[in-house]
Amino acid sequence: MPAKAIHTCIRVLDEGRSVAFYEAAFGLTVADKLDFPDFALIYMSNPLSEFELELTINKGTTEPYDLGNGYGHFAVSVEDLDAEHARMDAAGLAPGKIVDFAPAGTRVAKFFFITDPDGYKIEVIQRGGRFK
């Protein structure tokens, strides 16, 4: 039986700072918040997809999370990569350089990375081909 992907979770230190970043960078808004004594779960989404980003806030945590040395990241596709890069740059979100990835001469992807307030990498990919 096939599975349906519904969300990915990241742990964040500051709810307000993280919500503001994902709203400004990707147009995500809070779809739901579940508040518990020791932690809170904030689900963010936008009308383009049912997939959600779950922000987990562990109450009382004051030190940044150790993200390890793995190369994990969250990816989103956009209609106009150059325009999104310029918009994020103008908003002070410090997007990385645009990469036109074509190792064998044929473009595989055009993308850039941006880093959220907790150090998580988000890949922003030009929509097209396998990246819908």
15, 23, 84, 123: the catalytic one is 123
Give the three-state DSSP class for 15.
helix
Determine how many CB atoms are found less than 10 A away from the CB of residue 79: 9
What CATH number belongs to 72-132?
3.10.180.10
CATH 3.10.180.10 domain locations along the chain: 1-59, 72-132
pTM for this model (two decimals): 0.88
Q: In what helix (H) or strand (E) does residue 129 lie, and over which residues does it extend?
A: none
What CATH number belongs to 1-59?
3.10.180.10
Q: In what helix (H) or strand (E) does residue 112 lie, and over which residues does it extend?
A: strand 109-115
Give the three-state DSSP class for 84.
helix
The answer to whether 125 and 75 have CB atoms below 8 angstroms apart is: yes
Q: Is 123 a catalytic residue?
A: yes
What is the pLDDT of the chain when averaged over all its residues? 93
Could you report the per-residue pLDDT of 80-130, keeping only the tens digit for each? 999 999 999 999 999 999 999 888 888 889 999 999 999 999 999 999 888
DSSP-derived letter for residue 63 is S
